[in-house]
Structure 1
Amino acid sequence: MSAREWSTVWAAVHEERRALSADLAELPPERWAESSLCPGWDVHDVVAHLIDSAKTTRIGFVRRLIAARFDFDRDNAIGVARERRATPAETMAAFDRIIPETKTPPAAPATRLVEAVVHGEDIRRPLGIGRSTPLEHVLPALRYQLRTSTAMGGGRERAQGLCLIASDADVALGSGSDPEVRGTALALLLAVSGRRLRPGELAGPGVPALTA
Structure 2
Amino acid sequence: MAEPHVLETRKALEEAIHVERSALAQDLAELSEAQWAKASLCERWTAEEVVAHLTAGASTRMWRWLLSMLAARFDPDVHNDRRLAKHRGATPEETLRRFRAVVAGPAGPTGHTAAWLGEIVVHSEDIRRPLGLVRTPPVATTTAVARFFASRDFTVPSKTAIAGLRVEATDGPFTTGSGHLLRGPTLSLVMGMAGRTAACQDLEGDGAAILRARLRSG
Taking only the aligned residue pairs, the percentage that are identical comes to: 36
1: CA distance between counterparts of 2:131 and 2:174? 29
Query: What is the match of residue 185 of structure 2?
Result: 184
Once the two structures are superposed, the pairs formed by residues 9-158 of structure 1 within 5 Å of their partners are: 9-149=13-153, 152-158=155-161
Equivalent pairs, count: 206
User: Structure 1: how far apart are the matches of 2:108 and 2:143?
Assistant: 20
- Is the Cα contact below 8 Å between 2:107 and 2:117 reproduced in 1? no
The unaligned stretches of length 5 or more in structure 1 are none
Q: Quote the offset at 1:198 in angstroms.
A: 5.3
Task: Map residues 170-209 of structure 1 onto 2, 5 A cutoff.
Answer: 170-175=173-178, 178-197=179-198, 200-209=201-210
- 1:107 CA drift (Å): 4.5
The residue number in structure 2 matching 1:161 is: 164
Question: Take 2:116 and 2:192, find their aligned partners in 1: how far apart are those partners?
Answer: 18
8 Å CA contact retained: 2:162, 2:211 = yes
Contact 1:168–1:184 (Cα < 8 Å) also in 2? yes
Runs of 4+ in 1 over 6 A off after TM superposition: none
Any idea what the Cα deviations from partners look like across 1:67-121, whole Å, max 9, x if unmatched? Answer: 1122111010101111111111111110000001115223511111000100000
Alpha-carbon RMSD:
1.5
Structure 2-normalised TM-score? 0.90
Contact 1:55–1:103 (CA under 8 A) maintained in structure 2: no
User: For residue 156 of structure 1, what is the amino acid of its counterpart?
Assistant: K
Q: Under a length normalisation based on structure 1, what TM-score does the superposition of the two structures give? A: 0.92
